[in-house]
């Protein structure tokens, strides 16, 4: 809010919004523009760190905001940050690594960013782990990638994978 007055910021689902100035501390409220009109509320401390606010719905339907640092140390170039913003556990294979993410969990992965990495997104099914998504992702030491995974209890199982890559600007000589 600017001097106590609300500031309107529109953010499309599964995308990064433009960077907004923030001086904090402040209570921030996002209101869903839909018939449900859920409110996502967070109290932010005063900081100069770049923050990433991730709005999601918990498995019990409660809206929540996760506040993550979005700086070069917490989320460096050459890394991939996976976040399960869905309501079911999701399994991942990324390069040589395999791990599970519960709803709301996230993991920063440092893979070999100089090559293409094979990725699989899995979910527990009636006959074990089912592959819901697979692809080859080109990686680069000068890029970082944010991946939102959104799955639910639908049958047949499905998942939405939103991948946002950010490249480091080239050095000026």
Owner of token pair 């170039």? 77
Sheet holding 143-151, edge to edge: 106-109, 80-84, 143-151, 159-167
Give the pLDDT of residue 113.
66
pLDDT of 17 reads 66
1: Cα separation from own chain's centroid? 24
Question: How high is the pLDDT of residue 1?
Answer: 46
Does position 159 have pLDDT exceeding 50, yes or no?
yes
Place of tokens 């990433």: 52
- Check: CB of residue 92 under 8 Å from CB of residue 161: no
Question: Whole-prediction pTM value?
Answer: 0.78
**pLDDT value, residue 37:** 84
Other C-beta atoms within 10 Å of 44: how many?
16
Cβ–Cβ contacts within 10 Å for residue 169, how many? Answer: 6
* pLDDT level of residue 124 (50, 70, 90 thresholds): confident
* Cα distance between residue 163 and residue 59, in whole Å: 22
Q: Using one digit for the tens of pLDDT, what is the confidence trace for 53-97?
A: 888 777 778 888 888 888 888 889 889 999 998 888 999 999 889
User: Percent of the chain, pLDDT > 90?
Assistant: 24
| Residue 115, pLDDT score | 80
The count of other CB atoms within 10 Å of the CB of residue 160 is 16
3-state helix, strand, coil in the chain (%, to 5): 0, 50, 50
Structure-model confidence comparison of residues 132 and 31, the more confident one: 132
3-state secondary structure of 128: strand
């Amino acid at each position: 809010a600017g001097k106590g007055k609300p500031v309107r910021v529109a953010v499309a689902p599964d995308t990064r919004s433009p960077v907004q100035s923030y001086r904090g501390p402040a209570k921030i409220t996002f209101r869903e523009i839909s018939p449900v009109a859920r409110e996502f509320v967070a109290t932010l401390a005063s900081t100069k760190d770049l923050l990433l606010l991730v709005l999601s719905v918990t498995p019990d339907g409660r809206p929540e905001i996760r506040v993550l640092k979005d700086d070069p140390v917490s989320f460096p170039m050459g890394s991939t940050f996976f976040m399960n913003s869905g309501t079911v556990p999701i399994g991942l294979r990324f390069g040589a690594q395999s791990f599970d993410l519960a709803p709301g969990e996230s993991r920063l992965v440092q893979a070999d960013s100089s090559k293409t990495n094979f990725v699989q997104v899995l979910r527990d099914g009636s006959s074990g782990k089912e592959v819901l998504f697979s692809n080859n992702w080109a990686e680069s030491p000068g890029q970082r990638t944010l991946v939102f995974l959104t799955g639910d209890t639908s049958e047949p199982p499905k998942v939405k994978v939103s991948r946002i890559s950010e490249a480091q600007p080239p050095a000026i000589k």
